[in-house]
Amino acid sequence: MLKQVMAGAVMLALAQMAQAQQTAGNDGVDAAAPFVLGTVTVIGQREQAGQAEQQVGAQVSRAEMRRFNRDNVGDALNLLSGVSLSTNSRNEKTVAIRGFDARQVPLYIDGIPVYVPYDGYVDFNRFTTSDLAAIQVAKGFSSVAYGANTLGGAINLVSRKPVARLEGDTSVGFGSGSERQVAANVGTNQGLWYLQAGVSYIDSDGFPLSSDFRPTATEDGGMRNNSYRKDHKLSFKVGYTPDGAQAGDEYALSYYKQHGEKGQPPSVNPVGARYWQWPYWNKESVYFVSQTRLGEAERLKLRLYHDSYDNEITSYTNGSYTTLKTSGQGSVSGGRSIYNDRTNGGAVELESFRLAAHSLRFVASYKADEHQELDAKGVRTTWYKDALWTLGAEDSIALNGATELSLGVSRNELRPDTVYSAGNAYTLPENQSATDLQAGLFRKVGAGARVYATVARKSRLPTLKDRYSQRLGTYIENPALRAEEAINYELGYQGNSQGVALEAALFYSDVKDKIQSVANVSGVRAQMQNAGRAHISGVELGLRGSAGAWLDFGGNYTYTEMKNVSDRAIRLTDVPRHKLTAHAVLHAARQVDVVAIAESNSGRWVSNTLELGGFTTVNLKAVYRPLPALSLEAGVANLGDRNYALSDGFPSAGRTWLANAQYQF
């Protein structure tokens, strides 16, 4: 059905080409309009529509995602300073923002939390970018409108909203590993109402390893074993603007459906190899977002949502993937692990601009998480439910024409509802709460430039997995686990002069009651405890500009220092100390661009005793536009065929190729 819907959308787009309106920029790169109600900002009224958080945010635009072929959210985020890409033990793509992982920097779509309820993690490979207008990233200092658990910031995927009577794009692509990609987006804005629809399809047999990779007992080289994947996505939004867009009232209903299948490549180290496959990784969502003006000085925003997450892991005895593994380390119940998770919630925001020089916001939000595990016979073996409440307020105060002060406070409360695990006598733990406070001072220092200083005390309440999971019998549960806390400081500069943008930031975080694994608590079993304290500090530098009409250039550098204060003998892992990216876009001719981007990472510790080596990769492609609305491109990623890994036992792809075509209207 999804393929038929996708094919229908592509045919509709092609049929309307004769009426198409050209929306591409001078270089043919799509700059899709954002769904402004889906952005999250500290200063709503004074925010430029669709921009990232005014104070300390960063943003990846749709144009950048396309230019650098960032087809999933993880790769798109990796364009930014302060972001480190990695993989976990399940070979899922994860990110860290200034040393904080995905549980501490949650993921949102249009301001609605979409991280997996059970463990708070996200496989960023599963979230494609074809229907996005932008990605916002708040680092350390973030709006209370995000709600709880923004210990290190927040990541917000901003969907698209049509502005023309008819607009859209279609694309098709091919790549290494027999990869096939098709995507289509169609939108219409009729003034009183609008529609936006998108479909995408990615199917790959796997990815090739570098020719420098040396085979092991669990990986013979060439095409990476068990690395196939399929990701299908449908998104649909219908909006109602009763008095026209300029009046401010807007009501939008969105629907998302994602279906994924994937193999988990086994570790190339035979000792840690798991032979797992995911026959399905599905997500279905319904979101309602609205804004209503209450007179001239107030407006009311409402977000309501329902998310369902269903997935299954099948565990096998070896790399033939024929016999289910039903006992021993790394096995799951009956060889199958079936998760059914649900999230229901909502948030109400009241914004007021009644007081002179003040932008006030009051927020109340509720989020109910449910996690169920089924055995191979479909019998429920685990059932956990939590409720999370947040009350918050923030005020942005214009002290004068050049200086602004932002203050925020929120109270977050975790209320356990249901705890059931077959064979375990769990008791329902008590409620717990945490308070977040923040302040930021921002001053203009000339045309297009400003300096700022922020401090934010943030928290993360423990996930269901943190408290209850026994991790296949190797851990002891800890229902009394408390919230971890961090105080994040930042000094920064942002400026734009004569077409050259400069950014610089110094950051420091003091993390206490950090939730981490403590070994040998009972025999050989470990336990998650509030045992850690860490200091994270660093520098971010960014540059972007052009040299006449023939060259665009840019890059960023991040230095990150992570110290385990509670136990200096135990290392903090998965974040390189140095990361550098640089890109150049050569407008070689009126219809031809050459795009190059390089990334260099220093070595990173992945355990207390193992440091992976650093690496540098270069991606190169050429873009040809025979028509203003049509672009054809071909390129190579990891041009030097570098053999490198982001996690021990999981080597990254070697040299790969791509070929794409896109039409915009």
Considering the segment(s) 2-664 as one domain, its CATH architecture is Beta Barrel (2.40)
At residue 515, φ and ψ (nearest 5 deg) are: -80, 120
pLDDT tens-digit profile of 596-618? 999 999 999 999 899 999 999 99
In this prediction the pTM is 0.92
Q: pLDDT value at position 329?
A: 63
**Low-confidence stretches of the chain (pLDDT beneath 70):** 1-31, 43-56, 244-247, 328-333
Separation between Cα atoms, residue 232 and residue 174, nearest integer Å: 16
Q: Which residue has the tokens 């709460």?
A: 433
Q: pLDDT value at position 501?
A: 94
pLDDT tens-digit profile of 516-558? 888 888 888 999 999 889 999 999 999 999 998 999 999 999 9
Q: pLDDT value at position 27?
A: 47
Which residues is 308 bridged to in the sheet?
Answer: 284, 342
Per DSSP, the residues of 297-364 read TEEEEEEEEEEEEEEEEEEESSTT--SB--SSTT--GGGEEEEEEEEEEEEEEEEE--STTEEEEEEE
> What is the Cβ-side half-sphere exposure of residue 538, based on CA atoms within 13 angstroms?
26
Q: pLDDT value at position 334?
A: 73
Q: Using an 8 Å Cβ cutoff, are 464 and 371 in contact? A: yes
At residue 77, φ and ψ (nearest 5 deg) are: -65, -30
Separation between Cα atoms, residue 462 and residue 482, nearest integer Å: 7
Q: pLDDT value at position 24?
A: 37
Residues in the chain: 665
Q: How far is CA 282 from CA 222, 236, 341, 342, in A?
A: 30, 17, 10, 12
Domain boundaries, the chain: 2-664
Q: pLDDT value at position 8?
A: 39
Separation between Cα atoms, residue 445 and residue 404, nearest integer Å: 12
Sequence-separated (6 or more) residues with CB below 8 Å from residue 437: 408, 409, 456, 457
